[in-house]
């Protein structure tokens, strides 16, 4: 089995070397957790490894993606010029641009991706769809069907796909998970504010045919470099238990409150 490296330092060892060729992997998480940065790494690694890369962007313009990549030293402009990469812009919807999606439908998406593959020519291809949930925003019940369509249609073209999806609690409650069932893999990104600081984490929730890590790992995004995996999270006793003085103070507070309440409840003499 061929595995495609993601290009995020420290990540591939969590999934036995990389994403199996032909897989559809969902990168899910709340806003600002790193889904797009991860996708950019995956795309750039493809360029470096000689793959053809098709990047669909729905919430940011092509220019925004190129600029974000540039901050990490990845030259998408060159890759586009050399016919190694196509960025399909589904945000601006300019009819004059060959690589814009004018109507945000799954049929159009699949059509454009295949057109881009033909343009780029022969060879292994990587596809990023960022984000896939944009295609079912107003009809969340269609999430599963649409994901299945994308997987089935693009499978014939031997494409390996990373598709991002914002976790929508309403979607999972109301309609069941969409892309998560259809996807061969799920990479979940998380963020937490701890000690007044934003921390980011990743966990591989599913990766078919892969002995993957089951641990939450901390990640960081560094200017000029990009994303990297720092290491597994070790929750120490200090982090889950409060310091002794705090526990004592809380106890004293509760006792005082109880005493006060009891006094209040005493019947008038
Ligand atoms: N040059 C940089 N240096 C350091 N951190 C950066 C840099 N560029 C972006 N980031 C960090 O990455 C975050 C954006 O991550 P990303 O775009 O991958 O999130 P996302 O999960 O795709 O969010 P959304 O669902 O809103 O698209 C920024 O909020 C910022 O914290
Ligand atoms: Mg994003």
* DSSP string for residues in 97-157: STTB-SS--HHHHHHHHHHHHHHH-SS-EEEEEETSGGGGTT-GGGHHHHHHHHHHHHHTT
- Model confidence over 133-164: pLDDT tens digits? 899 888 888 888 999 999 999 988 989 999 99
- The CA 251 to ligand 1 mean position distance, Å, reads 42
- The CA 264 to ligand 1 mean position distance, Å, reads 54
- What pTM was estimated for this model as a whole? 0.87
- The CA 36 to ligand 2 mean position distance, Å, reads 4
Q: Whose CA is nearest to atom 10 of ligand 1?
A: 221
Contact predicate 154/113, CB 8 Å: yes
Q: Which atom of ligand 1 is nearest to the CA of 34?
A: 18
Q: How far, in Å, are 55, 65, 90, 91, 100 from residue 95 at the CA level?
A: 18, 20, 11, 12, 7
Share of the chain above pLDDT 70, in %: 90
- The domain spans of the chain are 3-234
Contact predicate 229/10, CB 8 Å: yes
Ligand 1 binding pocket, CB closer than 6 Å: 29, 31-37, 59, 71, 166, 221-223
- The CA 33 to ligand 1 mean position distance, Å, reads 7
Between CA 32 and CA 200 the distance in angstroms is 9
- The CA 110 to ligand 1 mean position distance, Å, reads 27
Contact predicate 57/88, CB 8 Å: yes
Q: Whose CA is nearest to atom 13 of ligand 1?
A: 32
Pocket test for ligand 1, best of 26, 33, 55, 59 (most atoms within 8 A of CB): 33
Pocket test for ligand 1, best of 26, 34, 222 (most atoms within 8 A of CB): 34
Q: Which ligand is nearest to the CA of 34?
A: 1
- The CA 34 to ligand 2 mean position distance, Å, reads 7
Q: Whose CA is nearest to atom 2 of ligand 1?
A: 223
Q: Which atom of ligand 1 is nearest to the CA of 29?
A: 21
Strand segments (E) across the chain: 3-4, 19-20, 24-29, 52-57, 85-89, 125-130, 159-166, 185-194, 197-207, 217-222, 226-232
pLDDT at 170 over 60: no
- The CA 164 to ligand 2 mean position distance, Å, reads 8
- Model confidence over 97-123: pLDDT tens digits? 999 998 999 999 999 999 999 999 999
**Per-state percent for the chain, helix, strand, coil, to nearest 5:** 40, 25, 35
Q: CA 191, 197, 199: angle at the middle one, nearest 5?
A: 30
Contacts of 163 (CB under 8 A, 6+ apart): 24, 25, 26, 27, 128, 129, 130, 131, 132, 147, 150, 179, 183
Q: Which ligand is nearest to the CA of 55?
A: 2
Q: What is the pLDDT of residue 53?
A: 98
- Model confidence over 219-268: pLDDT tens digits? 999 999 999 999 999 866 555 567 778 778 877 887 777 777 767 666 65
Q: Which atom of ligand 1 is nearest to the CA of 71?
A: 1
3-234 has CATH 3.40.50.300 classification? yes
Q: Sort strands 24-29 and 226-232 into parallel, antiparallel or unpaired.
A: unpaired
Q: How far is CA 103 from the centre of its chain?
A: 24
pLDDT at 173 over 60: no
Q: Sort strands 217-222 and 85-89 into parallel, antiparallel or unpaired.
A: unpaired
Q: What is the pLDDT of residue 174?
A: 45
Q: Sort strands 3-4 and 19-20 into parallel, antiparallel or unpaired.
A: antiparallel
């Amino acid at each position: 089995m061929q595995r495609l490296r993601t290009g995020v330092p420290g990540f591939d060892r969590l999934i036995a070397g990389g994403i199996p060729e032909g897989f559809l992997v969902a990168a899910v998480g709340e806003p600002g957790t790193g889904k797009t940065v991860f996708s950019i790494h995956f795309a750039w690694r493809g360029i470096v490894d000689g793959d053809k890369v098709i990047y669909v962007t729905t919430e940011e313009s092509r220019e925004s993606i190129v600029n974000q990549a540039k901050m990490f030293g990845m030259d998408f402009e060159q890759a586009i010029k050399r016919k190694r990469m196509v960025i399909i812009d589904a945000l601006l919807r300019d009819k004059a641009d060959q690589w814009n999606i004018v109507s945000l439908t799954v049929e159009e998406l699949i059509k454009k991706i295949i057109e881009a593959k033909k343009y780029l020519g022969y060879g292994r291809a990587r596809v990023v769809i960022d984000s896939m949930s944009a295609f079912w925003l107003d009809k969340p019940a269609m999430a599963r069907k649409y994901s299945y369509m994308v997987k089935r249609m693009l499978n014939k073209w031997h494409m390996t796909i990373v598709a991002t999806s914002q976790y929508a609690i309403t979607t999972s409650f109301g309609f069941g998970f969409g892309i998560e069932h259809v996807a061969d893999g799920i990479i979940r990104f998380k963020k937490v504010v701890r000690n007044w600081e934003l921390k980011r984490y990743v966990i591989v929730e599913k990766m078919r045919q892969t002995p993957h890590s089951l641990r939450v790992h901390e990640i960081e995004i560094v200017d000029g470099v990009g994303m990297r995996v720092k290491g597994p999270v070790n929750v120490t006793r200090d982090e889950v238990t409060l310091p002794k003085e705090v526990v004592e103070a809380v106890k004293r507070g509760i006792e005082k409150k109880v005493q006060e309440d009891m006094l209040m409840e005493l019947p008038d003499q």
